[in-house]
Amino acid sequence: MSGIGLPPEIKKRIQEIQVRLSDLGNQFSQNLLDATNSFELVLDRLEDVEGIPESDLNAAKTEDGKYRFTLHMPSYMAYMTHGPNRSIRESLYKAYTTRASQNGKLIENILLLRNELAKLLGYRHYVELSLATKVADSEKTVLKFLRDLAKQVKSIAEREFVDLSNFAKTLGIDSLQAYDAAFVSEKLMKSRFDFDEEETRPYFEKESVVSGTFQFLNKLFGLEFRKTSAQVWEEKVQVYDLYRSGKLLSRLYLDLESRKDKQGGAWMHNWHSRNRIANEEILPTAFVVCNFPVSTKDSPSLLKHRDVVTFFHEMGHALHHLCTKIEEPPVSGINGVEWDAVNFLPDFWRTSRLKREF
């Protein structure tokens, strides 16, 4: 995909496009992070935070007794799920969904450059170029999959929307909006199933989830995670060396809590891949990065069930990369795995881990 064999002037242009696309992608992410960090909403009326769980209120509380909510996911979702003031939920939602609006121009430039790159490499358009390294063999296959999926779930989604809308009316919300969905869903679960997700969070304390996962992996695969000291970029980052039968296999970094200078979402990054140069063995190294609730000296990081599922998923990626025996970097660990198939092992691990028998 680098244009090897093409005339020098075309290879030069391909390299220019690739560098520019990298710069635009970084600028896009930085704009999004800057916009996320620039917003905060400070509340000083108790009626505006009534019903929000104590752990979330503790995280939001300022030194002068007010409550600060931001667009970082733990803070944002705390208010969107439990915040009683509808107009505040609307303000937060609009602020979140309109972050970094200047990125629209970047998207246009990215699309133009991707299309040019594809044509220089002999493809009709960027979709065709993208699918050249994926399991799906054509755009028709992708569209058929999406349309079949939509056909299967559309009627279910419509029924659930009507159900949620009807329940919203009992809360005084005549027209259900996107910024009401999490709040109304939480109320519906409590009313219909007498289920409050907050009651499960003490069982999902972050350190307990990590420790329990490691114990399970030891039981299932004979893997041992030994905490070690290493230079890290933030004091809460934890580092583990991974052993099997006393032999060092790899190293894992866990960066799990949200913070201001951190991009949103969750991901696994492969820093080093298993390799052998002459007689030197290079062991794989991976980072698992999440944005879980922040712990303080007075309160631990309490996860929701979906946070636990996210951790299992990213650990699936990490295991795929860290446990490989292949010493050719282009196909070692997750390298060389098609991006529309790379989630198979994490999804299998995540799903099986949640089964009662495990």
On the question of pLDDT at 358 being above 60, the answer is no
Q: Which residues are catalytic, by number?
A: 314
Provide mean pLDDT across the span 56-80.
95
Joined together, the tokens standing for residue 181 give 């969905």
CA-derived radius of gyration, the chain? 23
**Which of the two residues, 286 and 59, has the higher pLDDT score?**
286
> Exposure of 281 by Cβ count < 10 A (0-12 exposed, 13-18 middle, 19+ buried)?
exposed
pLDDT of the residue at 73: 92
Domain locations in the chain as residue ranges: 8-102, 135-195, 202-352
pLDDT tens figures, 273-318: 999 988 889 999 999 999 999 998 888 999 999 999 999 999 999 9
Residue 355: which pLDDT band, with cuts at 50, 70 and 90? low
Q: What is the pLDDT of residues 326-347, one digit of tens each?
A: 999 889 998 988 988 888 888 8
Torsion of CA 153, 157, 159, 162, to 10 degrees: -170
Question: How many angstroms separate the CA atoms of 344 and 351, rounded?
Answer: 11
* Tokens encoding 222: 């004979």
- Residues 6 or more apart whose CB falls under 8 angstroms from that of 254 comprise 210, 237, 238, 239, 240, 287, 288
DSSP 101-132: TTHHHHHHHHHHHHHHHHHHTT-SSHHHHHHT
Evaluate if residue 321 carries a pLDDT over 90. yes
CA dist 320 to 60, 285, 286, 329, 342, Å?
A: 37, 11, 10, 14, 9
d(CA 216, CA 288): 18
Residue ranges of alpha helices (H) inside the chain are 8-38, 54-60, 73-82, 86-97, 103-120, 126-131, 139-170, 181-193, 206-221, 305-322, 344-353
Assess whether pLDDT exceeds 90 at residue 35.
yes
pTM of this structure: 0.86
DSSP string of 229-297, one letter each residue:
----SSTT-EEEEEEETTEEEEEEEEEEE--TTS-SS-EEEEEE--EEETTEEEPPEEEEEEEEPPP-S
pLDDT reading at 139 higher than 70? yes
CATH number of 202-352: 3.40.390.10
